[in-house]
Every structure is written in structure tokens, then in C-alpha cells.
Chains A and B, each alone.
Chain A
């Protein structure tokens, strides 16, 4: 036993922590950075936020012209993966960030809401392009939702028509920063909710549609005049 005691005396704390049988290959830079402290102290929340921000799974979600620039952001040259956010998932259930790349029209909005609802919490949304801010060049169209925020909450808006890939990367990086800091998007006004048809206020149009739509069908009602 005495010989063992002696070894402990001469070993550095770091080596002692490695234990016997482990060689230098296990000595990662991270380990060196922690130096002699074998433990890190942090808040669990903080750690989780850091993890969340550093490894984001994006939803593979193409709508309109902006999605072409979004693909460019994933692809060669811009390579969003460098920033720990480049794994597009086809299923919303595996994703935690949704980039909304394009114009949202009346027929698509309920579907987008459904896809958003299918994503597990915590989830974040990056609105890409003018269309997701206000309807963009199509704002005056009879069928166009005036921005993604009418339907789902948006954390980051990236303006442009379309935004350059660099701009989208900047937006995603900003989101990561916010997530790592534990900030979330402000609660936004959402005039368009999904409701059951039977719960709608009984006005002229609802009565007209009564024989076409079942009471418990999910519907979205657009009051265009209330749109911003």
C-alpha cells in the first residue's frame, strides 16, 4: 500500500482523474480546458439551453421561392451544418426548428399550423422572407395570409425577397444565441386559430356553409379586414 500512496503523491490531479489504463488519446482539448477541475458546475437549464442551441434539427419544409435559397443554405458553399443546424428532418416530430420559407395562402395556413403543432416542444420558428413578415409582394392578394405570425409564433424574422443564404445563416445564428440565453419569442397576436366549425360565431357565411361542413370539422376563419 505504501508504494501506491507514493504514486498518488507524484501524480497530477488530471492524471489521477484519468485513472489507470487510459492513455493520452483520451485527453481531449475540452478536458484540458477544464484543467484540474473534474467537475463543472452549471444550472441544468443553462446546460440544456446550450445543448439546444448547439444542435438544432431543422424541419425540411419548402413552400415557395424562398425555399430554393433555403436549400442553398443547406447545400455546398453555405453549409448551415457548420453552425450545428444543418440536419433537415422530414418529419415534424423529429424537428425543433421550423424555417417558414415562403408565401402562406389560405389553403395552406391550417396545414402549416398542423405541422407546427406536430413538432415537439420546445420549438422555434424562423420566418424567412418578406412573405412571412407581411405577405411580401403578394400582400394585396385575396388569398394571401399577411405574414406567418397570423398563424404561428415566430422567433426570428429574416427580411428579404428572398433573403440571401448568408442572411438566413445570420438569422439562425441569432436564434441559437437567443436559445442559448434562454430567451423566447414574445407572445404574438394570432388572429387565425384553428377551431371547430360548431364553435364559430353564427354569422352569414357560417350559416351559408352549414350544410357543407360538419360541426366538429376543424376550420380556420379569415377575417381579412382585421389583418394588419
Chain B
């Protein structure tokens, strides 16, 4: 991006030593700005629906907001609203929400797709679930629900009992589509929705030109489980917490933190330090489990190998799960966090838990060497991964890529460090980045992150061991029912195993959220797949998909 150069030269508008100067930003927008709202961690700038592109472009180019993290759509009694949550890759604590109200009779607003490529899918989702239409959008159709669906389920007057008709058109006659059409030399194939390489139920509409991918379009929504609707039906205090475990279901526990962080900031709840250490430790163990699985399944994709590496990876994941089971009582759906702390302390006898976890950590370096021998230094593996699935950093930013995918493209962005929470700032660890931008770099990042997680867990264990017995507070005092002030809005994010997992909550004064929006990292990362695979071999498409490490539960929510 040529635009980046002047940014280095002159300071971005609105940046001061202690955060953002919203007045300066408001001045930058000038007349386009209709109003300013107070959100909990940031401000909302209200703009007219036909000024969206101008406003966003100014903010991106002159104020440096290069990360469109999420687009939230919602319906009020008298209007629709789209909110663009903007951030900076350099400093994610610099946040700004751009609020676009549209009337109820004619919910049309300008698309932000020209400014941020990532807005494409986000706006399609907004259209699908809430019913706002975006002008100039290249491809305004449903994304999560079937195309023949009637109504917009997160709108106010949706009738959930009305019948629906869903077609099986795409696969109606697979053979006919499999053969080359007479007048072209390309071939259309469906990868998925039931396919061993898609890691769940993803459907890739792929057009091949010989061995090469001419065009690929991910078709998602085969696991759209209405998580947002269900969270809106649940009370803050206890009922929502089980759901996050089911978003990214390979590294479950970290997701709970996203909800915990959002709700705790919203309701102003403190978390005792001891609980923060427990949270940090368990989250990192869970991250390790997720990365082991990513490694194993990636080896499966690349070598098609079910015996050695896959089993090794599962052996290690099994141990991490075991430890987490000792701590939380469940192998996968831990439900361990509570607002204001965690549910219980380490299992008794504590020594046994420490010993078991330490054993796991002690064995790890040797195991990682083994992985490097078998995977990363393997020639076949390198041929498959080096320089395939290239994602340039500026493209990654356009698509809002985060997590190991962004860090494998050299983007130094990790919310654990950049937007600190939990006990991370107190501990000694590094953010891993690799400059390769290819499949290989992403695998390396994950493997090194396992080492970093091990470091964090180790330090947490030391802390927990020495923690005085009478100061082991697990939860702070939290009211039995939580009712945040009406119309408070918050967007906050954490770093889960796949990247930036953000939650937007708007309260309406009751004990349930009025709008609950999930920003999932896999959703944005998957969106970059066509950029990475067009023109490459079809086999590399599979490798690229594997190295993105998407989890459909999180993509579709």
C-alpha cells in the first residue's frame, strides 16, 4: 500500500500520548459527522448512510484506522443501524465505531466494501440476519442462511414458526456439473459440504482450469447455529457462558474470555488476581490443545497421513485435555469462567496437578523437536508449503486477518500484548511473527506459539504454587442479576487461538443483552482464501485451507 508511506512521516490525526483525541477525529470528519455517541471503550461517530464511504476512507487514510474489525447490524424500534468497528493494526487500543442509522422503511446504506474488502462478508451477514441492504455492494445475497429463506431472523418482527423451504440445487445432479461444458475449458467442482479436507461443513465452489484454480468461492452457513440469537435470549450472569465454548471448538476455553471480558467491562466487574492467573493458565493450555489439532489435521491434509503425525498430535492434545479436565471437570466444554472470576480452584491435591502439568511441559521441547523433524524439516512438506498460499501483509489487513494467519504474514498484532487483559502483561513471553506469508510460515507460527504458551503456563504454575492460601479469591462480588444501564454499547476483543475474537453487546436495561454480536477470527480469515488460492494448484488450495485453520463453528456461529 503506497498510502502507508506518508503515515510514517507525519503522526496520525487524533493520536495523543494517552490514547485518542476524539475531538480531532471529529474535526477531521467535519460536516459528515452527524452526532457523537459514547460507547464504553470508545466513541461512536454517527454518519449519514450515503456518507459511509467518504467517512471511512478519510478515517482510514488520514487517521490510520486500517483494521475494520467487525460490522454489527441491529434493528431498533425506529431505525436500523450498522456499526463499523474500526481499529489500528499498530495499536488496537485506538478504536472508533462508525454508526450508520437507516430508516425502517428503507434500510439502505452505502457499502464499505470499496474501503475495506472485509466489509463484503460482514455486510452480507448483516443483510442476511438483520435485513439492511447495502448500496454498491458487489454481491448482495444471503451468506449464512439458505438462499430461499424467508425473513431476517434477527429483525424485530421475524416469526420463527413460519415454515421454510430449502433446496438441494447445487448438488442436484453432480455428474452433469462435473463434466466440462462444451464451450469452455474450465471445470466446476464442489468441494464439500461433506468432504474430509474442509474440516467440517464448508462448501467451496471451485472452478478449475486444468490443475489450476481459476476461481474459488467459499459457501458457508452449514453450521449456522443461531448463536447470536441464543445469547440474546440468555441472562448475563450464568446462561451465556456455556455458548462461547462451542464457537471455536478446538480451543474452547479461551472463547469464554471474550464474553467474560465484554460483560465485565460492561457491568464494571473486577476480577481477583488469583482468578486472572488461573484464567491465563487455562486459556494457554487450551490454545496449545487447539494448535496441536491444527498441526495434526494440517499434516493430514498435506500428506494425507493418518498414522504418525496425526496420532502424535492427538497424543499431545489428549494430555492437554486431560489437564484441563482435571481443572474444569470437562474435556471440551469447560464452562470454567464466571463473570468476576472462575468457578473453582485447582483440584486437590494441588501438588499432583502441578506435577502433571509440569511433566507435560517438560516433555514438550523434545516433542516439538520431533515435530520439527517429522514436519517442518521434511522435504515433501516444504515442497507443499513453502511459497504456496501466499498472503501479503497489506492484503491480510484488507481482509481483517488476525491471529496466526496475520502473524505468519509478518503483521505484529496480538491482543494479549497490544490490548492487554488478564495476567499477560505481568508475564514474560513473546509474540511470534514470521515473514514468509505462506503456508509454511503459518505452521511455524503455530508451533512456536505452543512454546510461548508453555512459557506462560510455566510462569503461572510458579505463581499459583507460591500464592498464599488465604488470598486465593476465585470470584469477586457480583450481583445475582446483572442489569447494565440501558443503551450501553461495548465492543471488546481478546486473542483466541485463531485470532481476534470480539463481542459487541448492547444492553437495554434488562438482564439479557438486546444485541449480541460475535466477531469471529475464522470468518475474516476464510474470506481471504480466494486471494490466496486463485491461480494456484488445486492441491495447494487444500493446503491453504488447512493452514488457515478455520473452525466452522466459529465461521458460521
Contact = CB atoms under 8 A, between A and B. Distances in A.
A206 B165 contact: yes
Interface in A61-110: 61-65, 67-69, 71-72, 75-77, 90, 92, 102-103, 105-110
A203 B163 CA distance: 10
Interface stretch (B191-199, B457-465, B542-550): B191-199
Nearest to B297: A71
Interface in B53-79: none
Nearest to A165: B331
Contact of A72 (B149, B201, B314): B314
Interface in A154-206: 161-162, 164, 194, 197, 200, 203, 205-206
A115 B224 contact: no
A138 B226 contact: yes
B39 interface: no
B155 to A, nearest CB: 11
A32 to B, nearest CB: 33
Interface in B138-157: 145-150, 153
Nearest to B153: A142
Interface stretch (B243-251, B383-391, B419-427): B243-251
Contacts of B160: 142, 224
A221 B163 contact: yes
Interface stretch (A5-13, A23-31, A40-48, A209-217): A209-217
Nearest to A115: B194
Contacts of A71: 314
Interface string B214-245: 00000001111111011001000000001100
Contact of A65 (B164, B312, B553): B553
Chain B's interface: helix, strand, loop or mixed, by majority? loop
A114 interface: yes
Interface stretch (B4-12, B166-174, B447-455): B166-174
A205 B165 contact: yes
Contacts of B249: 64-65, 68
Interface in B322-341: 331-333
B318 interface: yes
B390 to A, nearest CB: 28
Contact of A143 (B224, B246, B293): B224
A220 B168 contact: yes
Interface string A125-169: 000000000000110111110000000000000000110100000
Interface in B107-164: 145-150, 153, 158, 160-164
A223 B163 contact: yes
Given A76-B315, A218-B167, A62 B148 contact: no
A111 B164 contact: no
Give the interface size bracket for A toward B.
35 or more
Contacts of A105: 221-225
B441 interface: no
B165 A75 contact: no
Contacts of B158: 142
B351 to A, nearest CB: 25
A111 B35 CA distance: 48
B311 interface: yes
Contacts of A161: 333
B200 interface: yes
A209 B167 CA distance: 11
A167 to B, nearest CB: 11
Given A71-B314, A107-B145, A114-B171, A65 B166 contact: no
A138 B150 contact: no
A217 B169 contact: yes
A111 B194 contact: yes
Contacts of A92: 194
A110 B168 contact: yes
A223 B317 CA distance: 42
Contacts of A221: 163-166
B201 A65 contact: no
A218 B172 contact: yes
A222 interface: yes
Contact of A138 (B172, B199, B230): B230
B310 interface: yes
A209 B552 contact: no
Contacts of A137: 230, 242-243, 246
Nearest to A220: B166
Nearest to A77: B318
Interface of A: 60-65, 67-69, 71-72, 75-77, 90, 92, 102-103, 105-112, 114-115, 137-138, 140-144, 161-162, 164, 194, 197, 200, 203, 205-206, 208-209, 212-213, 217-225
Given A224-B161, A224-B162, 17 more contacts: A60-B196, A62-B199, A68-B249, A69-B332, A76-B318, A111-B201, A137-B243, A142-B226, A143-B224, A144-B225, A200-B165, A203-B163, A206-B165, A213-B167, A213-B169, A222-B166, A224-B164
8 contacts: A67-B200, A105-B223, A105-B225, A115-B194, A137-B242, A144-B225, A219-B148, A222-B166
Q: Which 4 A-B residue pairs are closest in the complex by CB-CB distance?
A: A141-B226, A65-B249, A75-B314, A110-B168
